[in-house]
């Protein structure tokens, strides 16, 4: 049976649009990440999964520990549902209401860690914790800028995140946390997006690939040194429980750094399109959405319903979903992926009947779940379960 036949057989009773997760591929991808992490625990990035059932499955897999959440309301929800006793919110929070909730809830305060990178964050959290009068200090993690900045800092390669970059800056903020009894510094995080999130092997671009590999290698050396110095300086100020780094594209490299105690990863589970072209790993597409062929404008073209689910980020073609099955379909260059309908051209178009399905992959992993209320879980050629996405549970955090 081909992949497409398997998916068609398992979902024959469903009317598209719908989304599926191939559990075999999902589990193989999880096992691949664990192998690459070489016995350092993987904190699962929930933004790249956005489904409680699948997050639970991942957390039950040996090698995974803890959740990297994307908002504090999400973290409190996951904590109240008992998904994990170790949830790190990877981005700063300025939501005073939810911070107050965290401070008042002893169990949540023992489970959830919030991100800080400046004195204003500390002031705000301290103020809220003092007013809330909770019994436990708020757990905080310092975010470190992991970008590479050659040419004396005139060039920046990597995401614009934290202003904290040096060991001195990190140690000063750590000392500031230590002065505040309502806060407790438990972790450091440095996410090297320029390595973990940039494919070093894009097809048909040998020179660009070589340049990416060169830049990533330089950046890796610079960050490993700086990260080690930062960890040493901050450990002199606080008993850190964890030092988090990396992402799907960098798992083995980040895990190899002695100063790093755990890596983060999520996108590699669904293996979305943007993670296709890396030399160090190959995942199996595990999350797909199916759209129905609704008409045929002419020879060599069919039109499916919907399809315009671009991913966040720079709005270029790389953010579009990709027609996956049957192979041999592409977007019309003038229309792309449309709001309510999408023409698809290519050799496979003439073999499709009205009512057939076309399976697509999303460019980013978790954002698929903002378009669908349910994921149909497929094992072999059987649909074994249907589970809600975050959105399906009425949880649209961002």
Counting residues that bind ligand PLP (by CB under 6 A) gives: 15
Instruction: Report how far residue 95's alpha carbon sits from residue 69's, in angstroms, rounded to the nearest whole number.
Output: 15
CB of 342 to ligand PLP, least distance (A): 26
* Contact call for residue 92 and ligand PLP (CB under 6 A): no
Segment contacting ligand PLP (CB under 6 A): 74-82, 191-199, 308-316, 377-385? 191-199
Question: Which ranges of the chain does DSSP label H, i.e. alpha helix?
Answer: 3-10, 23-37, 52-59, 72-80, 96-104, 106-111, 119-132, 167-178, 193-196, 206-235, 251-255, 267-270
CB of 219 to ligand PLP, least distance (A): 16
> Under the phi-then-psi rule, with left for phi > 0, alpha for psi from -120 to 50, and beta for the rest, what region is 95?
beta
Among 78, 265, 287, 352, binds ligand PLP (CB under 6 A): 265
Among 137, 266, 283, 343, binds ligand PLP (CB under 6 A): 266
If you ran DSSP here, which 8-state letter would residue 299 be given?
T
Which residue, 283 or 343, has its beta carbon nearer to ligand PLP?
283
Among 45, 78, 99, 141, binds ligand PLP (CB under 6 A): 45
Question: Which ranges of 271-310 does DSSP label H, i.e. alpha helix?
Answer: none
CB of 249 to ligand PLP, least distance (A): 7
Instruction: Retrieve residue 344's tokens.
Output: 């698809």
* Contact call for residue 142 and ligand PLP (CB under 6 A): no
Among 196, 238, 368, 378, binds ligand PLP (CB under 6 A): 196
Please count the CA atoms within 13 angstroms of the CA of 105 that sit on its side-chain side. 16
Of 25, 44, 24, the C-alpha closest to 34 is 44
Of 371, 354, 353, the C-alpha closest to 362 is 371
CB of 59 to ligand PLP, least distance (A): 15
Residue that the structure tokens 């510094």 belong to? 185
Among 89, 108, 198, 264, binds ligand PLP (CB under 6 A): 264
If you ran DSSP here, which 8-state letter would residue 357 be given?
E
Which residue, 129 or 365, has its beta carbon nearer to ligand PLP?
365
Among 46, 93, 216, 267, binds ligand PLP (CB under 6 A): 267
**Residues from 305 through 344 that contact ligand PLP (CB under 6 A):** none
Which residue, 248 or 261, has its beta carbon nearer to ligand PLP?
248
Percent helix / strand / coil, the chain, rounded to 5: 40, 25, 40
CB of 20 to ligand PLP, least distance (A): 20
**Residues from 353 through 382 that contact ligand PLP (CB under 6 A):** 365
Residues 6+ apart with CB under 8 A from 265: 33, 37, 42, 43, 44, 45, 48, 246, 247, 248, 251
Which residue, 105 or 145, has its beta carbon nearer to ligand PLP?
145
* Contact call for residue 247 and ligand PLP (CB under 6 A): yes
Among 32, 134, 187, 197, binds ligand PLP (CB under 6 A): 197
The contact set with ligand PLP (CB under 6 A) reads: 45, 48, 68, 90, 191, 196-197, 247-248, 264-268, 365
């Amino acid at each position: 049976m081909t992949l497409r036949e398997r998916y068609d057989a398992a979902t024959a009773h469903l009317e598209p649009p719908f989304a599926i997760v191939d559990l075999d591929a999902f589990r193989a991808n999880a096992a691949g990440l664990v192998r690459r992490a070489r016995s350092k625990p993987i904190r699962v990035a929930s933004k790249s999964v956005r489904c409680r059932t699948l997050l639970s499955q991942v957390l039950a897999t040996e090698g995974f520990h803890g959740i990297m959440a994307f908002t504090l309301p999400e973290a409190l929800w996951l904590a109240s549902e008992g998904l994990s006793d170790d949830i790190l919110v990877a981005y700063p929070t300025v939501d005073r209401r939810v911070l107050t909730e965290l401070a008042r809830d002893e169990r949540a305060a023992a489970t959830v860690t919030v991100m800080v990178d400046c004195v204003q964050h500390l002031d705000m959290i301290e103020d809220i914790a003092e007013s809330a009068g909770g019994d436990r200090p708020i757990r905080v993690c310092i975010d470190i800028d992991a970008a590479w900045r050659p040419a004396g800092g005139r060039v920046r390669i990597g995401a614009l995140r934290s202003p904290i970059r040096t060991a001195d800056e990190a140690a000063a903020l750590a000392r500031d946390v230590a002065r505040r009894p309502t806060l407790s510094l438990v972790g450091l995080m440095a996410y090297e997006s320029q390595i973990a999130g940039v494919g070093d092997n894009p097809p048909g671009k040998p020179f660009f690939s070589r340049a990416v590999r060169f830049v990533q290698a330089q950046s890796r050396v610079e960050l490993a040194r700086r990260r080690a110095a930062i960890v040493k300086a901050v450990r002199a100020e606080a008993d850190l429980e964890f030092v988090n780094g990396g992402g799907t594209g960098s798992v083995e490299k980040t895990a190899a750094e002695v100063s790093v105690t755990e890596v983060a990863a999520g996108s590699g589970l669904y293996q979305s399109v943007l993670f296709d072209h890396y030399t160090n790993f190959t995942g199996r597409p595990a999350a797909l959405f199916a759209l129905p062929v609704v008409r045929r404008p002419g020879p060599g073209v069919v039109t499916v319903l919907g399809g315009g689910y671009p991913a966040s980020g720079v709005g270029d073609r790389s953010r579009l979903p990709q027609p996956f099955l049957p192979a041999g379909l592409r977007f019309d260059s003038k229309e792309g992926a449309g709001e309510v309908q999408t023409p698809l051209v290519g050799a496979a178009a003439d073999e499709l009947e009205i009512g057939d399905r076309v399976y697509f992959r999303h460019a980013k992993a978790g954002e698929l779940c903002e378009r669908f209320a349910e994921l149909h879980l497929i094992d072999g050629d059987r649909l074994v379960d249907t589970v809600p996405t975050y959105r399906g549970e009425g949880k649209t955090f961002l």
